[in-house]
Amino acid sequence: MNGCGTTFLTIAPDGIALPCHSARELPGLFANRGYVYKTDPVCSKSPDRRVIQNAIDSARESALSTDEQPLIFRNSKNPRAY
């Protein structure tokens, strides 16, 4: 998809444009709905960026506290390393 909403948008029956089919089910990602002048909290320059950063930090801490290994994406530098 090249990142959330960069290639296509899903238009829900109520007219809301969503970056993916399951966007409504993602908790807290679209908290600014209805506030057209508010910056998207995902933007690094948003005054509300701390909300997203806290969620990222919390997810990272809980993921690292288990025995699971982090996902490693293949690229040109490590196409068959894993």
Q: What is the pLDDT of residues 20-55, one digit of tens each?
A: 777 777 766 565 556 667 777 888 888 889 988 998
In angstroms, the CA 59 to CA 30 distance is: 18
* The predicted structure's pLDDT at residue 1: 43
* pLDDT value of position 54: 92
Long-range contacts of 59-65 (CB under 8 A, 24+ apart): none
